[in-house]
Structure 1
Amino acid sequence: MKDDDTRIKFDSEEELIDYYCSKPHPKAFTPSIVIVMLLCSLVGGIIGMELIVKFGLSTNSSIIGALIAVIVGMLPMKFARKFRNIHTQNLVETAISCATFGAGNVLMVCVSIIWVFNKPEMCTGILIGGVIAFVVDITMMYWLFDTPLMGADEAWPIGIATAETILAAAEMGKKAKLLIGGIAGGIIGTWLGLPMDIIGVCGLGNIFALTAFCIGLIMNGYWPTWFGYSLGDYYVPQGVMVGAGMVGLIQAIILIVRKYKGRSKTETPKEELKTADSTFIEPEESELTVEQENELLGEKDEKTGHIYTRTTKQMTQTFVRGIILYIIGAVIMALIGGIAAEMSEGMLVVWVIYAMAAALISEILVGISAMHSGYFPAMATVIIFLVFGIFIGFPPHALAFLAGYTACTGPAFADMGYDLKAGWILRGRGRHVKFELEGRRQQYYAELFGAAVAVVLVFIFYRSYFLAGRIPPVASVYKATIDAGVNGTVLRQILLFAIVGAVLQLISGLKRQIGILFAAGLLITNPIAGVAGLIFLTFRYFIEKKFGDEGRKNLNVVSAGLIAGAALFSFCTNTFKLVSTNSKKG
């Protein structure tokens, strides 16, 4: 390894990671890092708002943020040197990613739902409640990451793609060539109209869950052609998600109960961890807080051997905290927004409890889908809770607030999961426990920074967007659902197909998540992606069977490149569309 002021060369990825993990972790609020995070977050937040109102979608900007940090690190200036550090780059991508999703998918969608009801005076209330849900959502992922429910060793495909991009830029070896080839393939394939992001995800995620996801995509997309009617006409996707989601929730509860019952057997002392897993590194005791000591008493997954840094007790405490925080947020939203006056005291209590449950369950369902497939059916989960809210009898404005509150949980939760996964890989996949905990904390600060930028941007600009008629299309979908209402026939159809989802999820278990991922596929219209995904999964199976672990590692890098290429192409082309459209208006 050669180390000088301008360039560091490494002989292997492990050497690179160990080198940067031997240094103090960069602080998110270092002035130079704050400046770069601020500029990136402003750009990401603005693009997120523009995309959500113009195209009804947002884009993953993690890789963009990482590349910006890499480019800054190449500048021949003293302040730029710290941006050669892979962990500094990780902080920058974390901030811009949160700002993009937070401003677009979360807050603009939230406030637009009540705007389309012609109630601008209620916007401040729903936005304040949305901000609370947004921040709680981020915090929940910070607390839940690397628990038995949200393991760091799970797929989190976008996180892998981001980490591989950062490592390849730093290493510039064989991996860099594979990644560059993958990026080129992702760009060319996306330009030709192929779903390169989904193809890339199929090289990284759980093969069983992704197969179910692809089958769902194919069925939903081609069903009208095959049979002359849509599955959505009979609420099949919603029903399957309800059943799979409820069973998945029960499975998570059973997991917690089992862990508690066998706690004396499953909780591993630190001395045993050092002998059972060579990746465990004993930090200096004098530097540890009580919280860190508890975090280091990990629990080992009997099947994979992965040692979690969050215990079952901490996972349970997180859910309790989440229930309390989401209740507080719902109460504040109801009081400030004015919907409390539209309901009786009893109905208000029911609404608050239901809003809390919808927010919590939605983020878990979205998080699980994102963890395994890289995609999350956020809009679909909101509609499911809206349908049941209509049956309960909530008034229209209360339903709009419910939709806004629920919409604020899930996207940021999943996005932070991706960012933490990227950080976990860059920090040595758990080899440096104390460094991992500190890095995770700094990422949380960076995520909050990006969230703050998103909040400020939306509060300043949402009225000018909406007064100009630039409203996220999904708001009209939610309003149409509320205005249409539902009847007993719809409820029966949902419950009937909920049985299908429940059975699939029950058979697959909590780890494979076949039921939830099949439902996620049914909720998305992209059959070509399903076909391409199945083809690539077959290719992956034979590659791994013939070349073993080495083939799997190389395929992971190429797959990460495909995702990165698709993200770069989409980001750049969408940004170009925005600029060209605005210039024509001017």
Structure 2
Amino acid sequence: MGSNNKHDIPKFNSDDEIIEYYVAQKHPKTFSPAILFIILLTSVLGAIIGMELIVEFGLSTNTSIIGALIAVLVGMIPMRFTRQFRNIHTQNIIETAISCATFGAGNVLLVCVSVIWVFDQPQMCTGILIGGIIAFLIDITMMYWMFDTPLMGANEAWPIGIATAETILAAAELGKKAVLLISGTVVGIAGTYFGLPMDIIGVCGLGNIVALTAFCIGLLCNGYWDRLFGYALADYYVPQGVMVGAGLVALIQAGILIVRRYKNKREQNLSDAASKDSVEEAAGIEEAETILEPELETVSEIQKEIKEEVQEAKEQPYVYSRSTEDMSKAMLKGVVLYTIGAVIMAVIGGLFAQMSTGMLVVWVIYAMIAALVSEILVGISAMHSGYFPAMATVIIFLVLGMFIGFPPYALAFLAGYAACTGPAFADMGYDLKTGWILRGKGKHAKFEVEGRKQQYFAEMLGAAVAIVAVVLFYKAYFEAGRIPPVASVYKSTIEAGVDPIVLKYILTWAVLGGVIQLISGLRRQIGIMFAAGLLITNPVAGIAGLIFLGIRVVIEKLFGDEGRKNLNVVSAGLIAGSALFSFFSNTFKLFKPTSK
């Protein structure tokens, strides 16, 4: 690292130098005045953009990279006030807050309250919004509890998180990595301009190859099935059924993992206790053997011990910072909190007048299950592919809820509640992945814990801005006819009702999804990733993704670890370029006059 005076920007030669330099300092505090000011400023911007995009185009955009770049630019201003924004962890805090504000205001809360508005029930908006806010905050907290457990490992792909981290590190290094990242970003912008799925191509350079192959195959099946066979897979509820089956099996696999780890821990405790009881006897025998046979410990025994240690290291290549026990506790707390949230929503929203007491109890339990399962499914999809099929999972629970017999308003509340779990969960996973990389990938345990805590505070600040924005402006949006398009999708699904044949289709294809997920195991999540691909209509992305996966395999075989690292940076640039183009092009569209 270059030596400069304290007013200059440090010069670095590698990522390791950057990380070690900033880890040696105290972690920035989210609530320090300067950082808090920038967080609030960028979060307000993110919330406005999130709401505008969701009502105009039915989509939102990831603003993590935008937030990071804003912090980088502020840090380049030669003033004492701005010096702290050169710190990569300050930049991580700011991007965490703005991305939460964007998704929280747009994809989560505005969508939630719009579902009941389209049923012409404005008096019920307060109830559904309060319930949605509760679910939103639980969703964020659940990821904070579950990140880097065996279900949501920090060592998994989380592609958007990698892209943001690479952007921050490249801006700090300004060396070869910066050139690669900028080149990838330019290609990402150009490719997106010409309609190529550069974000998916970039993801295929970062994620699990097997899981992403399944995802791309799903994209191809959904995109070309109609042309090849004359009917769409959605006509027979194949995507929904596969996701239901894969999701249920994945949850069962997670449960088995928890039980197995508890069993192993109990057996280990018993073994340790037995060893402690016999330590004196073993010590006596060892002393006698030492006297009689001083050369008892042979070379072969030492080699055997070394071999066992190596084998054990191979069996556990990555150690999670949070245990299976932490994961099970988090899910149990989620069950309790989501149940409480559903009860509060039902009471304030007036659902007790719509259903009998027994049916209301069933609704509360079902709403809790829908919220928790939707969160896990969306999180797993985002972790591997960078995409989260939030709307599709909500529709699945709507269809199943109709078979239970819930009335329309109860289904609308269910859709709003489930819609508030998943997007923020996945988004925080991305941000925590970014922080995990910048903090040295878990090598500095205390610093990692402090960093996650500061990110959680930043996420909550972004959420607070999103909540205030939606509470203040949702009526103005809706009264002007500016309603998220997905609300009409949910309404039409509810009003259409269901035919018993639909349940037959879903259950039939659930078997297929369950079998695929069972074969793939909890680690690769092939069943869920295949279902996620089936739920998205973008066959070109499937072709491009498979081609790039093939290129990736060739590069890794020819150039080894160095080739993989360079490809990671270029892939991050492709994602960054796609995100930047989408952000600015969609934002500029907001200022163009449109004819209604």
TM range (shorter): over 0.9
Q: 1:168 to 1:153 in 2, by over 3 A?
A: same
Distance 2:315 2:405 in 1: 46
Q: Among residues 232, 235, 241, which one is paired with 1:233 in the alignment?
A: 235
Partner SS, residue 52 of structure 2 = helix
Matched residue, 1:106: 108
Q: Among residues 71, 78, 90, which one is paired with 1:88 in the alignment?
A: 90
Note the 1:214-253 alignment, pairs <5 A. 214-253=216-255
Matched residue, 1:58: 60
CA contact (8 A) 1:259 1:266 kept: no
Partner SS, residue 181 of structure 1 = helix
Q: Which amino acid aligns with 1:68?
A: I
Q: Among residues 330, 343, 349, which one is paired with 1:331 in the alignment?
A: 343
Matched residue, 2:463: 451
Q: Among residues 25, 47, 50, which one is paired with 1:48 in the alignment?
A: 50
Structure-2-length-normalised TM-score: 0.91
Q: 1:303 to 1:208 in 2, by over 3 A?
A: farther
Distance 1:44 1:227 in 2: 44
Q: Among residues 346, 371, 396, which one is paired with 2:358 in the alignment?
A: 346
Matched residue, 2:473: 461
Distance 2:212 2:377 in 1: 15
Distance apart, 1:580 and its partner CA? 2.0
Distance 1:266 1:317 in 2: 20
Q: Deviations over 1:71-117 (max 9, x none)?
A: 00001111100000000000000000000000000001000000000
Q: Which one is further off, 475-484 or 300-309?
A: 300-309
Matched residue, 1:174: 176
Distance 1:371 1:155 in 2: 6
Q: Which amino acid aligns with 2:24?
A: S
Q: Among residues 13, 16, 26, which one is paired with 1:14 in the alignment?
A: 16
Q: Among residues 132, 135, 138, which one is paired with 2:137 in the alignment?
A: 135
Identity of aligned residues (%): 73
Q: Which amino acid aligns with 2:528?
A: I
Alignment RMSD (CA, Å):
1.5
Q: Which amino acid aligns with 1:72?
A: V
Q: Among residues 436, 441, 445, which one is paired with 2:448 in the alignment?
A: 436
Distance apart, 1:228 and its partner CA? 1.5
Structure-1-length-normalised TM-score: 0.93
Partner SS, residue 152 of structure 2 = coil
Structure with greater Cα Rg: 2
Distance apart, 1:10 and its partner CA? 1.4
Matched residue, 1:3: 4
Q: Among residues 307, 312, 317, which one is paired with 2:329 in the alignment?
A: 317
Partner SS, residue 82 of structure 2 = helix
CA contact (8 A) 1:301 1:307 kept: no
Q: Deviations over 1:194-235 (max 9, x none)?
A: 000000000000100100000111111111111121111110
Matched residue, 1:536: 548
Q: Among residues 499, 519, 522, which one is paired with 2:534 in the alignment?
A: 522
Q: Deviations over 1:164-189 (max 9, x none)?
A: 00000001111111101100110010
Matched residue, 1:412: 424
Matched residue, 1:288: none
Distance apart, 1:256 and its partner CA? 0.6
CA contact (8 A) 1:359 1:405 kept: yes
Q: Which amino acid aligns with 1:170?
A: A
Q: Which amino acid aligns with 1:222?
A: Y
Q: Deviations over 1:370-418 (max 9, x none)?
A: 0000001100000000011000001100000000000000000000000
List structure 1 segments (4+ residues) > 3 angstroms apart after TM superposition.
Answer: 264-267, 300-304
Q: Which amino acid aligns with 2:443?
A: R
Alignment pair present for 1:157 and 2:169 = no
Q: Which amino acid aligns with 2:479?
A: L
Distance 1:170 1:13 in 2: 9
Distance 1:317 1:301 in 2: 27
Distance apart, 1:266 and its partner CA? 7.6
Q: What are the ranges of 5 or more consecutive residues in structure 1 without an aligned counterpart?
A: 270-299
Distance 1:114 1:204 in 2: 39
Q: What are the ranges of 5 or more consecutive residues in structure 2 without an aligned counterpart?
A: 273-311
Aligned length: 554
Distance 1:263 1:179 in 2: 44
Q: Which amino acid aligns with 1:570?
A: S
Matched residue, 1:291: none
Q: Deviations over 1:1-25 (max 9, x none)?
A: 2232121011221111011001010
Partner SS, residue 591 of structure 2 = helix
